[in-house]
Amino acid sequence: MKKNLLAAALFGCIGATAHAQSSVVLYGLIDAGISYVNHSGTATTQAHSLTKFDDGVSQGSRWGLRGSEDLGGGLKAIFVLENGFNVGNGQLRQGSREFGRQAFVGITKDGIGAFTLGRQYAFSTDFLSAYSTGGQTVGGNYAYHINDVDGLMSARIDNSIKFTSANFAGLTFGALYGFSNQAGAFGGSPTGGSRTYSFGLNYANGPIGVGAAYTDIRYPNSTSAGYPTPTTIANASFEGFQELRSFGVGGRYLIGPATLWALYTNTRYVPAAGAAAQFDAYDIGGKYAFTPALTGALGYTYMNLGNGSDSIKGHWNQINASVDYALSKRTDVYVLGIYQIASGHSGAQALQAAIGSNTRAYFDTSGTDADNQLAFRVGIRHRF
């Protein structure tokens, strides 16, 4: 009898240990609030003020599952399934995909890194976002660069394989390749899938952080592109371009309760023939924690567009200001204000102000004569 009880207890301990070696975590974030903008386009191309409910501004609303299994010897199997949704109406984001934000599985090894396969972020998002005003503040998706042309917000690549190194005294690096998945077109095609590769390097140790990344997407407007590449930049159209190449370098520095950051990105729209169009963004800013709960931030972004001739020239100046108050470790409320002014032309058409991203239909002024926008927002964010 005693032997049976001892055996049951032993097997129970073994089972508990085995169970502890595997884990699945449910997590998520919800962002909601009220936004106002002075100029917004309408069906009749007239600019009017707009007050609306908007979600996923500071960060995209999401829920996800993250899991790992200890395989022994420092080896683990991992997976992430992450869904994006609109909290205002319950609809799916990212083209109504079930797990449109991320979906991958892979292996990690202590001291080496992780090898993963699926729908994953390019290193423009992984390593550069943290050095931008959009990534550093509650300005989020309103503060990122026009139409997210440089992929800081959401460069998600379908059918990709990715290696991300372990942390070596603050240094991490990685590479990603996205397959076209089309027979006879390994490098992609305009009627099939796109081909992507991305590289990144980041160092974060103590008060200093610096990073760089390069992403190249061939045929980004193909019928099955994994990344919803914008084909316009505030009225300048780039339909049919063959390749999108984006490079960026950024850094941040901590001084007590203050954080300073700076970022430069260069994005090129490359056609099959002729001159490429180039979009440059210069992003600087700082934030200060007045108390553990209260943080104020101010950022400035200058954006420039050209194609080496007088046919396309554009300039945008944008100021981002925000105040964030933490009600708890998981819940905060914030106030956000952004002002943007534009100048330049694409052919005979004047370029317009455009806060946010056309992939989220924020404050489009296409076809209007609005060369400036002023936006305000009050929001709440909860993490679980």
Nearest Cα to Cα of residue 295 among 283, 284, 287: 287
Cβ atoms of 100 and 110 closer than 8 Å: no
What is the average per-residue pLDDT within 331-341? 97
Q: Whole-structure pTM over 0.85, yes or no? A: yes
The pLDDT value given to residue 44:
52
Tell me how far apart the alpha carbons of residues 108 and 313 are, in angstroms, rounded to a whole number. 46
The pLDDT of residue 17 is 44
Nearest to 144 by CA among 310, 316, 295: 316
Given this model, what pLDDT does residue 15 score?
44
Residue 361: per-residue pLDDT: 44
What pLDDT, on the 0 to 100 scale, is given for residue 154?
83
Mean pLDDT of the chain: 87
The fold for domain 25-383 equals Porin (2.40.160)
CA 244/CA 255 separation, integer angstroms? 37
| Amino acid code (one letter) for 276 | A
What pLDDT does 242 receive? 85
* Per-domain residue ranges of the chain: 25-383
pLDDT category, 299, cuts 50, 70, 90?
Answer: very high
Sorted by sequence, the CB contacts under 8 Å of residue 301 that are 6+ apart come out as: 133, 143, 145, 281, 282, 283, 284, 316, 317, 318, 320
How confident is the model over 74-90, as pLDDT tens digits? 999 999 999 999 999 99
Cα–Cα distance for residue pair 72/115, rounded to 1 Å:
17
pLDDT digits (tens, 9 = 90+) for 261-295: 999 999 998 887 777 889 999 999 999 999 999 99
Task: Using the predicted structure, report yes or no on whether residue 43 has a pLDDT greater than 70.
Answer: no
SS3 readout for 111-122? CCEEEEEEEEEC
CA–CA separation, 209 and 160 (whole Å): 27
Confidence of residue 358 (pLDDT cuts 50, 70, 90): low
SS3 191: coil
pLDDT at 169: 96
Residue whose token pair is 């936006």 = 375
Q: Dump pLDDT digits (tens) for 144-165.
A: 998 888 999 888 999 999 999 9
